[in-house]
């Protein structure tokens, strides 16, 4: 059977909830039509092909936020401590994501990446990354200055770690494929523009009050999985009344480089990240489609979906400013906060990050590109939650913290979610 992978196909099919005037019943409701929600639906229907799954998406289309606004990198598990959920699920997700794309003729390229040190301090940090790679069975290679220049003539560095396993893909395309495959079972309904207002868990069911296009519908289900990204803490509070962490939205700003840089490197080029921060730094990314982007930086956004200044909401801004852990977090990372803010305000400062390892790039090579929002959980005392995190009751499971590499890890995350749900 041919599956239509076009965005318009999935989006046209997503209006079906408009006809559900009574109380819809489902075996499983999933909130969030990003790649994790799609993978959960796929995994669940594979195990229970006669059950019905209802997916509720607040946006007007699937993959509208983190899934459709990232750099498309299939991560290999370089940065995560061995034994952590991120390390385990990312390493498994690398293989399953590549296999899924190849099995279904979805866009993918395993081009590899080079992490480039530009001074002695960064070169010492490479030791930890190299050890992580070996622990995760990635067969890394240490490259000297001469080897970096030999393999990547446009790149400068004192030392590097080459990881051949890393790849690139289109996560929105993967999501659309999964949703189309779920729909083809005849047991799946996708409703967009559907905002969940209340969650009530009873002894034998979960009841949701859902607002869609000025209508309110009551939905009943045997179980509920929330894959809500930046709204994860909001839904936990909706159900439980409290949440011991808050999701802060960090905006990552990207630029597309001018066509002369379409083939600037054969591999992805990353700087050595600051181990105190959960962000990987401004990197050169080969994109599906044959062009190159740079980014992202990481600045606190003015709202959950505040991709531009025009998206700013006073209510959302007020919510962020009231987050208990915000101010100790900003104070702890004050140097990084200032540095990231400067890159947001100055293209020249942004370009200087890239020029450390790719001197040919200038601000004149920057062209506009979409930004993204990273949903990052922060504890009440201002600690960044580094690992994936789940909150579960008898019939409800919330994916509480799932920043990068969640897209890479989506298939094993989904398996974990369904296992825990059962």
pTM of the model: 0.94
Q: Give yes or no for residue 5 having a pLDDT over 70.
A: no
What's the CA gap between 315 and 23, in Å, rounded? 31
The pLDDT tens digits of the residues spanning 80-91 come to 888 899 999 999
Same fold, 7-66+172-244+386-421 and 110-167+249-379: no
Domain limits, the chain:
7-66+172-244+386-421, 110-167+249-379
Which top CATH class is 110-167+249-379?
alpha beta
Q: What is the distance of C-alpha 376 from the center of its chain?
A: 10
Roughly what angle, to the nearest 10 degrees, separates helices 35-47 and 410-421? 50
The answer for residues whose C-beta is within 8 angstroms of residue 239's C-beta and 6 or more apart is 199, 200, 201, 393, 396, 398
What's the CA gap between 297 and 341, in Å, rounded? 9
What's the CA gap between 228 and 212, in Å, rounded? 17
pLDDT band per the 50, 70, 90 thresholds, residue 276: low
Q: Give yes or no for residue 17 having a pLDDT over 50.
A: no
Q: According to CATH, what is the number of the domain 7-66+172-244+386-421?
A: 3.50.50.60
The pLDDT tens digits of the residues spanning 331-383 come to 999 988 999 999 999 999 999 999 999 999 999 999 999 999 999 999 999 99
The pLDDT tens digits of the residues spanning 96-112 come to 999 999 999 999 999 99
* Residue 267 · residue 221 · CB < 8 Å: no
Q: How far is CA 271 from CA 33, 198, 275, 383, in A?
A: 32, 44, 12, 24
What's the CA gap between 224 and 144, in Å, rounded? 51
The 10 Å Cβ neighbour count of residue 26 is 23
Say what the pLDDT of residue 7 is.
Answer: 54
The pLDDT tens digits of the residues spanning 250-271 come to 999 999 999 999 999 999 999 9
* Residue 293 · residue 256 · CB < 8 Å: yes
The rounded mean pLDDT for the chain is 92
């Amino acid at each position: 059977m041919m599956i239509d992978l076009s965005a318009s196909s999935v989006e046209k099919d997503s209006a079906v909830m408009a006809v559900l005037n009574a109380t819809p019943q489902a075996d499983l409701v999933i909130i969030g039509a990003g790649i994790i929600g799609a993978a959960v639906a796929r995994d669940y229907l594979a195990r229970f092909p006669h059950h019905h799954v209802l997916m509720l998406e607040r946006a007007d289309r699937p993959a509208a936020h983190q899934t459709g606004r990232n750099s498309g990198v299939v991560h290999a598990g370089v940065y995560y401590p061995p034994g952590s959920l991120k390390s385990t699920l990312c390493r498994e997700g690398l293989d399953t994501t590549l296999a899924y794309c190849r099995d279904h003729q979805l866009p993918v390229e395993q081009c590899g990446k080079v992490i480039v040190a530009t001074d002695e301090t960064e070169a010492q940090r490479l030791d930890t990354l190299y050890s992580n790679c070996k622990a995760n069975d990635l067969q890394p290679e240490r490259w000297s200055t001469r080897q970096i220049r030999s393999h990547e003539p446009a790149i400068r560095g004192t030392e590097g770690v080459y990881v051949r396993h890393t790849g690139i893909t289109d996560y929105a395309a993967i999501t659309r494929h999964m949703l189309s495959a779920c729909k083809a079972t005849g047991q799946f309904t996708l409703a967009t523009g559907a905002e969940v207002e209340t969650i009530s868990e009873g002894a034998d069911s979960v009841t949701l009050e859902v607002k869609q296009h000025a209508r309110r519908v009551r939905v009943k289900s045997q179980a509920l999985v929330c894959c809500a990204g930046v709204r994860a803490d909001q839904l936990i509070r909706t159900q439980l009344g409290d949440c011991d962490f808050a999701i802060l939205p960090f905006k990552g700003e990207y630029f597309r480089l001018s066509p002369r840089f379409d083939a600037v490197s054969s591999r992805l080029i990353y700087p050595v990240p600051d181990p105190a921060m959960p962000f990987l730094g401004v990197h050169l990314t080969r994109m599906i489609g044959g062009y190159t982007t740079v980014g992202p930086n990481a600045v606190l956004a003015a709202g959950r979906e505040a991709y531009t200044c025009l998206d700013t909401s006073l209510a959302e801004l007020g919510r962020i400013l009231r987050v208990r852990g915000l101010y100790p977090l900003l104070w702890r990372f004050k140097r990084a906060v200032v540095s990231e803010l400067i890159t947001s305000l100055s293209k020249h400062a942004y370009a200087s990050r890239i020029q450390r390892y790719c001197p040919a790039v200038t601000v004149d090579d920057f062209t506009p590109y979409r930004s993204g929002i990273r949903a990052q959980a922060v504890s009440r005392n201002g600690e960044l939650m580094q690992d994936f995190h789940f909150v579960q009751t008898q019939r409800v499971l919330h994916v509480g913290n799932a920043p990068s590499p969640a897209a890479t890890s989506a298939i094993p995350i989904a398996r974990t979610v369904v296992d825990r749900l059962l």
